[in-house]
Structure 1
């Protein structure tokens, strides 16, 4: 076959994006193809942040193209562009925020908040602008996990500036009250507080706002589902049957309000003894995978039961920030790419007018 654009496009169609499960052509990542004699230039643009994968993807595409008959040299550029995606009916996107991702669990103690902050840090490490909203009014933990101190500023007495650390923008009721002050509030006060935290914070050009929900399917979750423009949800569970049973309820709640579930994160999947290296499935095995298969949603990844994750979160420097080159941090980054990739497949929201951010790697 003579070298032409169709032949190049056919070769690109044979390369599957592992984060979406779709090929580069079908998912619309091929932005341009140029031919000059025996030279080929290809421009790719992913719909999600993937700075950690750009170089590997460019190398794979370059190798495939240079193996084609008649190609002496291939030049490949890879960029990412985050778009705003569709939210629930009759809701409009939040100013300054392209996409809201809710992180939920059916029960407490599964490591949801730790997963949420590391997911946010991982999205940022992949090239996105990211914020975190702590929606757990009764038990806020984000300030401690992100090492945030002091009350946020209010330049006009009405709106509040998000606190910033590790490159993230963050807001929590824990920043407005004392660390030991209990929130003895009924449901309506809690939902009003959540809406104020969300709407009164001056979020600045976020690609993603990660909302850490309290466990369960109560007032906060219902408020979020009905009044907050959510683009997608991530469900956190452990492999334990009791945990996945409750996680199913959270998943079904989002399905009822037409918020797409981007996938499931299986936390505390396996423990490796630091002394002898013996591995053990403390909370059972395969629960997240079975749940993902039952509801036809992706298993975004499995994370180990590792003392370092807990220690680093308690210190105010979560794993992705504390040890960015570690296997644990890379696992979070892979999960972040997969979650954002699943969101990139959803319909876009054209009612938002933020400038586009391009993450370039050539």
Structure 2
């Protein structure tokens, strides 16, 4: 029998125009139903059912029909799906049918993730001490002239299909390569990552560290930044991730401090090298007494813990001036520079 466990960030074979859809279930009645209702090949050894398809559209029709036959009402049978690339004779990772169906239906996004068909735009981060560019945040964007997509939908689709770890791994390594190509040594590269995509940091981050070495990037130029889009219930696990990064000479940052799950308590518990303060707190902070108090409290906590603070979402000079007066270290936002493919040309300084 095949291994039906999650393969996390493992690369999977291409979903080509022709191939085989494979299905397995511990419920023998489900297999019998597939054998009765569809033209299939049944493997007595593995107990797997395979259906041939001659186009991606036909594959989409097949999974839709299977859903209509098996997933009726509230019934949710335990059915796993995968596909086989005939050219390479490779089988994709096995996942439960709902995720498998989504992979087939959204095969364009699947291709973007598996083949890494994206690039990165760089948004400058300025030092308030030197008025110069300190580094850049790497933001995932579509490749020009290839397959257009909205980054938010791509990440949403990766979660729905169980490909979040693969996309996160691909994006980390792609960012490292982009930084090696476009930035000089000494310029910081802030690279986002999702904690939930890293199950075992010693194993899952191995390809990331190999990419750092292969690209000739100085680990001290890297800052891996937690994307706080979800409640991190296992703080100890995130601490372990931070420790693994730091053991390789890489710094870490916590995003969206002051909003959602990134509270002062979380900042104290994790003690990152950099704390990025939520743009919601920064917007018109110079004219809002409540925001001023919150930012002052964050500044005090950051100073106490030795965390360097970065204000995100700076859209006005007054916002930059105010956080500078508080003692913040860095600023980032459209007032200073929008994300672009290339680093800022001839504009590495800014007066605050």
Mark yes or no: TM-score above 0.5. Answer: no
Tell me the TM-score normalized by structure 2.
Answer: 0.33
Structure with more helix by fraction: 2
User: Which structure has the larger Rg?
Assistant: 2
- Higher relative contact order by CA 8 Å / sep ≥ 6: 1 or 2? 1
Tell me the TM-score normalized by structure 1.
Answer: 0.33
